[in-house]
C-alpha cells in the first residue's frame, strides 16, 4: 500500500507560470519597497535598492544580448564569489533566455573545466582573484569558450549600457521545460552531475519557502548571507526568497567567523542561513566569547545541507542565546522540501520540520520496496513542482533517481513522527554495515562532538577482509589538549559494541567538506598514508 504524506499547510498559493526574472520584478513586496536597500556589501556598505535591482536586471539582459550575443538557452558560467551583483546577474541571464551555471569557487582548474565543458558555456564571468584559475582551466584540451570577463569589467559594461530589455515571456508549458540553472551536485559520492532546474522549479520553491516560512521571511527581517551563492542553498535563500520578500540581505564575499560576528552587530542582522561547520564554530570557537551580544539582534538561524545533532543545537543555543532550527533539501529539489515554521511551538530540535507547501513524500523500505509504516525509517522520496527535470545529458542517472510518475529518490534515510515532522537519519549509501548491523555515521559524529576536546569529526566505514565486514573509523580535529586514544576509549565505552571505533581513529587538521558543509567521505575513504590509532583492540 502506497503511503503519501502531504504538507500540513496545503498546496502552494498562486503558483507562478513564467520567467523567473519577471516573477521577481513583479513581486508585490519588491514593488512596495523599491527605495529599500535589498542588498548590502558587508565589506564596504555599498547597497542596491529594490529599484536599482530591477533596473540592473533589465540592463544586464540588454548587455548580454547586444554585447555578448547571449540568447535563448545559451549558458553563462559564473565563477564568482558572493557579491551584491550576483542576484541581478542571475536574473539578467534568465531574463534574456540564458541559463545560469554557478561554479563552485573552491574548484580546481580541471573541475572548472569539467563544468564549463559539460554545460557548453558561451560566456564565463569570473571574480578578478579567480581569473588565474579560469585561465588554467582554459588550457584543458577541448575546452572552448567564446568570452571570459571579470565581474568588475562586466558591471562596467552594464553601467555604460544605453538600453534595457524586458524578460522574455514563458507560458504555462514552456516554463516547466525551460532550464534556468545548471547547478552541479556536490559530488560527495562521485563525479558532480549537472542538475536541470527549470524556471517553474525555481519560482515554485521560492513560493514554497516564502509561504511555509512567513514568520522567518517577514519583510522586516534582515539576513546575513555567508553561504556561497554558487550553491543552490545560497541561490534559493538570497537570490530568490529574501529578494522576493524584500528582506534586506547583507552579503559576505566569503566566510570569516569574526567578520560575520562583527557584521551581525553592525548591520543588526536578525536571521541567518548557516551550515553545520559554522554552527560547530559558534559552539566551540573562543572568538565567539567576545561577541555574545549578537543575540541583541540575531533571533533565528536555519541550518541546512547536512544533519545537525540535537546535542550540538542545544549547546550552541545555550552559548549564543539564539534559536537554531533545521530545514532540509537537495539540489534536485530546488532545494527546500522541509521547513520548521509550520508550528514553532511543536518543532523538535533534531527534526528538519514539516513538508513545505505543495510537497509530497513517501518513506520506502530499501529491502522490500514497500512504503514503511509511520515511525519506521526508510528512503525518503519526494514529489512536487520543485523536483528537477533531470540530470544534464545523463538520462541513465536521471532514470536511477526519478520514477516514471515523478517521485525523486533522495538516497537519504528518514523517519516521520506522529506530529508530521521528519528526521534525517543518514545517507543510504553512507550507512556502515558493521557485523550485520547498519550504523549511521551521523549518529556517531554527533556523539563524538559532545566531547569537549573534539572540534570537528567525520566517521566512515573501512572494510576488514578477515572479518568480511566494515568497521567504523573516526577522523577527528582536536584541541591542543586532545588525546585521541583517551577519546576513543571514552567513545567505545559509551556506545553499543557494533558502533565502537573498531576501524581506529585518525587525527586531521581539517575535515574535508564541500562549500555547503557536506563531509567529503569519498576523500576520506581513499586516504592511504594516515596514522591510524587504536587498531590493536579492533576485534569484534
**144 vs 421, higher pLDDT:** 421
In sequence order, what are the residues at sequence separation of 6 or more whose Cβ sits closer than 8 angstroms to the Cβ of residue 82?
Answer: 225, 226, 228, 229, 234, 251, 252, 253, 254
| pLDDT (tens digit per residue) in 363-391 | 999 888 999 998 999 999 999 999 999 99
The values of phi and psi at residue 55, to 5°, are: -65, -45
pLDDT at 306 over 80: no
Please state, in angstroms and rounded to a whole number, the distance separating the CA atoms of residues 430 and 499.
Answer: 14
Q: Residue 259: enclosing H or E segment and its boundaries? A: helix 257-266
At residue 35 the predicted structure's pLDDT band, cuts being 50, 70 and 90, is very high
Please state, in angstroms and rounded to a whole number, the distance separating the CA atoms of residues 191 and 198.
Answer: 22
The owner of cell 525518503 is 380
Please state, in angstroms and rounded to a whole number, the distance separating the CA atoms of residues 191 and 213.
Answer: 34
Cross-strand partners of 507: 476
Residue 532, all three cell numbers: 591510524
pLDDT at 204 over 50: yes
Name the range with the highest mean pLDDT among 45-54, 108-117, 320-329.
45-54
CA separation, residue 188 to residues 29, 152, 193, 511 (Å): 38, 32, 11, 13
| pLDDT (tens digit per residue) in 153-185 | 999 999 999 999 999 999 999 999 999 999 987
pLDDT at 259 over 70: yes
pLDDT for 190 equals 56
pLDDT at 443 over 50: yes
At residue 535 the predicted structure's pLDDT band, cuts being 50, 70 and 90, is confident
Mean pLDDT of 263-289: 94
Q: Helices 441-448 & 310-320, crossing angle to 10 degrees?
A: 40
| pLDDT (tens digit per residue) in 64-97 | 999 999 999 999 999 999 999 999 999 999 999 9
Sorted by where each starts, the structural domains of the chain and their CATH numbers stand as 432-533 (3.30.300.30)
pLDDT at 119 over 70: yes
**494 vs 426, higher pLDDT:** 494
Please state, in angstroms and rounded to a whole number, the distance separating the CA atoms of residues 457 and 472.
Answer: 13
| pLDDT (tens digit per residue) in 392-406 | 999 999 999 999 999
Mean pLDDT of 227-233: 93
At residue 467 the predicted structure's pLDDT band, cuts being 50, 70 and 90, is low
Q: Are 285 and 294 in contact (CB under 8 A)?
A: no
**What average pLDDT is seen over the chain?**
92
Q: How far apart, in Å, do the first and last CA atoms of the chain sit? A: 40
pLDDT at 539 over 50: no
Return left, alpha or beta for 41; rule: phi > 0 is left, psi -120 to 50 is alpha, else beta: beta
pLDDT for 436 equals 62
CA 360 remoteness from chain centre:
20
Half-sphere exposure of 513 (CA within 13 A, CB side): 20
Alpha helices in 476-533 (DSSP H): 484-492, 521-525
Amino acid at each position: 500500500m502506497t503511503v503519501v504524506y502531504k504538507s500540513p499547510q496545503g498546496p502552494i498559493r498562486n503558483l507562478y507560470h513564467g520567467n523567473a526574472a519577471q516573477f521577481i520584478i513583479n513581486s508585490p513586496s519588491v514593488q512596495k519597497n523599491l527605495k529599500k536597500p535589498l542588498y548590502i556589501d558587508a565589506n564596504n556598505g555599498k547597497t542596491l535598492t529594490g529599484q536599482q535591482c530591477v533596473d540592473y536586471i533589465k540592463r544586464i539582459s540588454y548587455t548580454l544580448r547586444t554585447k555578448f550575443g547571449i540568447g535563448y538557452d545559451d549558458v553563462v558560467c559564473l565563477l564568482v564569489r558572493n557579491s551584491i551583483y550576483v542576484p541581478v546577474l542571475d536574473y539578467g541571464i534568465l531574463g534574456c533566455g540564458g541559463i545560469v551555471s554557478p561554479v563552485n569557487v573552491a574548484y580546481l582548474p580541471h573541475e572548472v573545466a569539467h563544468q564549463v565543458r559539460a554545460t557548453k558555456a558561451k560566456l564565463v564571468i569570473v571574480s578578478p582573484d579567480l581569473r588565474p584559475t579560469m585561465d588554467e582551466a582554459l588550457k584543458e584540451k577541448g575546452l572552448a569558450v567564446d568570452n571570459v570577463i571579470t565581474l568588475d569589467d562586466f558591471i562596467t559594461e552594464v553601467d555604460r549600457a544605453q538600453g534595457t530589455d524586458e524578460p522574455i515571456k514563458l507560458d504555462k508549458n514552456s516554463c516547466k521545460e525551460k532550464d534556468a540553472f545548471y547547478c552541479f551536485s556536490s559530488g560527495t559520492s562521485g563525479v558532480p552531475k549537472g542538475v536541470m532546474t527549470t524556471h517553474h522549479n525555481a519560482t515554485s520553491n521560492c513560493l514554497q519557502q516564502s509561504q511555509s516560512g512567513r514568520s522567518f521571511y517577514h519583510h522586516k527581517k534582515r539576513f546575513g548571507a555567508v553561504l556561497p551563492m554558487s550553491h543552490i542553498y545560497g541561490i534559493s535563500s538570497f537570490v530568490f526568497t529574501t529578494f522576493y520578500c524584500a528582506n534586506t540581505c547583507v552579503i559576505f564575499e566569503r566566510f570569516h567567523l569574526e567578520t560575520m560576528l562583527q557584521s551581525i552587530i553592525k548591520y543588526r542582522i536578525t536571521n541567518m542561513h548557516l551550515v553545520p561547520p559554522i554552527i560547530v564554530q559558534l559552539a566551540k570557537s573562543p572568538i565567539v566569547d567576545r561577541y555574545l551580544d549578537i543575540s541583541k539582534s540575531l533571533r533565528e538561524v536555519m541550518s541546512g545541507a547536512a544533519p545537525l545533532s540535537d546535542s550540538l543545537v542545544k549547546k550552541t543555543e545555550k552559548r549564543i542565546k539564539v534559536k537554531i532550527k533545521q530545514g532540509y533539501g537537495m539540489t534536485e529539489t530546488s532545494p527546500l522540501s522541509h521547513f520548521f515554521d509550520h508550528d514553532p511551538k511543536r518543532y523538535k530540535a533534531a527534526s528538519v520540520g514539516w513538508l513545505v507547501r505543495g510537497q509530497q513524500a513517501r518513506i520506502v523500505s530499501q529491502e522490500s520496496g514497500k512504503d514503511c509504516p509511520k515511525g519506521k525509517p526508510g528512503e525518503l522520496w519526494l514529489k512536487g513542482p520543485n523536483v528537477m527535470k533531470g540530470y544534464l545529458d545523463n538520462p541513465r542517472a536521471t532514470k536511477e533517481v526519478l520514477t516514471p510518475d515523478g517521485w525523486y529518490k533522495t538516497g537519504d534515510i528518514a523517519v516521520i513522527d506522529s506530529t508530521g515532522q521528519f528526521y534525517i537519519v543518514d545517507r543510504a549509501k553512507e550507512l556502515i554495515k558493521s557485523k550485520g548491523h547498519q550504523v549511521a555515521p551521523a549518529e556517531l559524529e554527533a556523539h563524538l562532538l559532545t566531547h569537549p576536546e573534539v572540534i570537528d569529526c567525520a566517521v566512515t566505514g573501512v572494510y576488514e577482509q578477515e572479518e568480511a565486514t566494515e568497521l567504523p573509523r573516526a577522523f577527528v580535529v582536536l584541541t591542543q589538549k586532545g588525546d585521541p586514544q583517551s577519546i576513543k576509549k571514552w567513545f567505545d565505552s559509551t556506545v553499543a559494541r557494533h558502533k565502537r571505533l573498531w576501524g581506529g581513529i585518525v587525527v586531521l587538521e581539517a575535515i574535508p567538506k564541500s562549500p555547503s558543509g557536506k563531509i567529503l567521505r569519498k576523500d576520506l575513504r581513499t586516504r592511504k598514508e594516515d596514522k591510524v590509532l587504536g587498531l590493536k583492540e579492533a576485534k569484534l
